[in-house]
Amino acid sequence: MPLSIEIIYTDPEFLVINKPAGVLVHGVRATPHREASSEETVVSWLQAHYPEVATVGDDPRQRPGIVHRLDKETSGVLLITRTQNAFEYFKKLFQTHEVQKTYQALVWGEMETASGIIDKPIGIKSGTIKRSVHSDKMAKPAVTEYRTVRSLTISGQPYTLLEVMPRTGRTHQIRVHLAAIGHPVMGDKLYGGKRSFYANLNRHFLHALAIEFTAPNGKRIKCEAALPDELTRVLTSAE
């Protein structure tokens, strides 16, 4: 069955889409030790529906039109550029932190404070794909703001629904930061350990809820993506 992706906003210069969970933004490049991925991706969908992206970006052969990314299991709003001018414009906006992103995350445990800021550099753990606040390898500054939406109990365990606003854009940033303060994202197999396990969810509970920015024409735009059904069902199962 062909990949189906909801288009939230369309403009001659860019798109905002609602990326489904379980879909890579772009494929994995082949190496001597690894075959290229053959699964459908956001990029393969783009190439089929918006062929003009073929020459757009820093690496259009691998990531045409892609100016930022979401993890494979993270759903929600994703901005796509359709022209090189738009790519350069939005790349600068991301670099200068002028794009506001809001996520929803369900995390293990009760938060010690209703809101806060996590300011911890993130590096790569040697020999792995994992990121860590305890590694100096290629470490870069990372800042994440959060606020509590509500506390709830699921299967006898305490959880907290958060709105999370990353102020930087590091790989796995939200998941790493929340795990680092003892509140891993529900279902996060890479960073959550046993505490984040939930049998009725086959992904992690992290959703890109909204993105807000000034478009190249000066118009202020905010796009939102509703919480997917599988995540809504988790919330409605709360005791």
- Residue 134 Rama label (left phi>0; alpha psi -120 to 50; beta): alpha
Residue type, 54: A
CA dist., res. 152 & res. 48, Å (int): 42
CB-based contact 220:211 (threshold 8 Å): no
Structure tokens at 99: 């794009």
Q: CB 228: neighbour CB atoms within 10 A?
A: 16
Q: Is 96 helix (H, G, I), strand (E, B) or coil?
A: coil
Please pick, among 58, 71, 119, 188, the residue that the annotation labels catalytic.
Answer: 71
Torsion of CA 141, 147, 151, 157, to 10 degrees: 0
Q: What are phi and psi of 86, to 5 degrees?
A: -65, -40
Q: Which two tokens stand for residue 17?
A: 């889409």
Residue with the two structure tokens 């772009």 = 26
Told to judge if 59 belongs to the known catalytic residues of this protein, a careful annotator would answer no
How far is CA 26 from each of CA 8, 13, 20, 66, 212, rounded to the nearest angstrom?
A: 20, 20, 13, 9, 23
The set of catalytic residues is: 71
